[in-house]
Chain A
Amino acid sequence: MPRSRLLALCSLTALALGCAASAPPPPEALALAPISQDERAQQTRVYQTEDRGALLGACIAVLRRHGFAAEDQDSTLGVIVAAKDGTSGDERTRLRASIAAAPAGEFGMETTLRLTFQRLAWNARGRETLRERVREPAEYAGFFDEVSRELASPSPE
């Protein structure tokens, strides 16, 4: 193949990739809708403590016990983002936990913990192949219960 044709072929391929990357997102992706009350309740637990630091510490201890590593943390906002990376075949996988703690109750004597678990995966080319929330109620209830136990009797560091 002549060199000029090869160059043109490469150029058009690259141009096509560039155009594909800037394709508009599907309309349904931009139509946000509130989650259900049941799901919100599943993600939420109220703890009878105003010590948000201790609660976040308990969350970190439980996450570490399950192999999560912290990705981001802001103690002022009471936010923890942690992830557990793995592989499945050729794919890279991640289980992400996002936690937000906020004062609750009439005088802020309680703290609400809001938790989401999310599964992500990428293929060998780095393209995202999976994005889904964890819906199993037992996963959330189990985590909240462990946090309660950790709060009651903190494990040694």
Chain B
Amino acid sequence: MNARSPLRALCVLALFAGGARADSTASAVASAAATETAPPAHSRDFPAPDLAHAQRVAIATLQDLGFALESADAERGLLIASLLDTHPLRLAVSITAKDESTINATITADYAGSPIADPNPATTFLDAYAAALNPLPEIDF
């Protein structure tokens, strides 16, 4: 190895790191449903026999948390939504049937196209979703 090799290696590494942003932005949505290269996913099962209803509740939950829908695909059970204000936080929400009476909700999040590991947005969504799927009964006094 000559003296310039480390420098060239640094160049390649640095250019790759610098260029990663554009790649991650472009592929964030496309890779949301993937498993091997996806950002950390947060998943929870819910008792819900009606998948269509469960997907509509997920849409309403996103809207109630201040998100705007970017895309929806009932067949794949995939919803993409980003915050309405200020921060480019985006959630990819997958609502699929696990069996006849159970659905699975899986969430991934990215910020400006970069996957985030912080569980807070996904947990907040899942808690709100659980409450919306199974609202407390109204009590008459």
Q: Which residues of A contact B (CB under 8 A)?
A: 4, 7-8, 10-19, 21-22, 24-26, 28-35, 40, 43, 71-72, 74, 76-79, 81, 96, 98, 100, 102, 114, 116, 118, 128, 131-133
Contact = CB atoms under 8 A, between A and B. Distances in A.
Nearest to A101: B56
A4 to B, nearest CB: 6
Contact of A30 (B10, B11, B17, B120): B120
A22 B7 CA distance: 23
A18 B68 CA distance: 28
21 contacts: A7-B8, A7-B11, A11-B11, A11-B15, A15-B10, A17-B21, A18-B17, A25-B89, A29-B89, A29-B111, A30-B109, A34-B65, A74-B74, A77-B52, A77-B55, A77-B59, A77-B74, A81-B69, A98-B68, A100-B63, A114-B60
A13 B87 CA distance: 26
Contacts, number: 156
Contact of B70 (A12, A30, A32, A81): A81
Contacts of A32: 65-66, 120-121, 124-125
A81 B62 CA distance: 14
Interface string B55-84: 110011001111011111111000000011
A21 B85 CA distance: 20
Interface of B: 4, 7-8, 10-11, 13-21, 24, 52, 55-56, 59-60, 63-66, 68-75, 83-89, 109, 111-112, 114, 116, 118, 120-121, 124-125, 128
A24 B66 CA distance: 21
Contacts of B124: 31-32
B103 to A, nearest CB: 14
Contacts of B112: 21, 25, 128
Given A25-B116, A114-B63, A76 B74 contact: yes
Given A32-B125, A35-B64, A114-B60, A14 B14 contact: yes
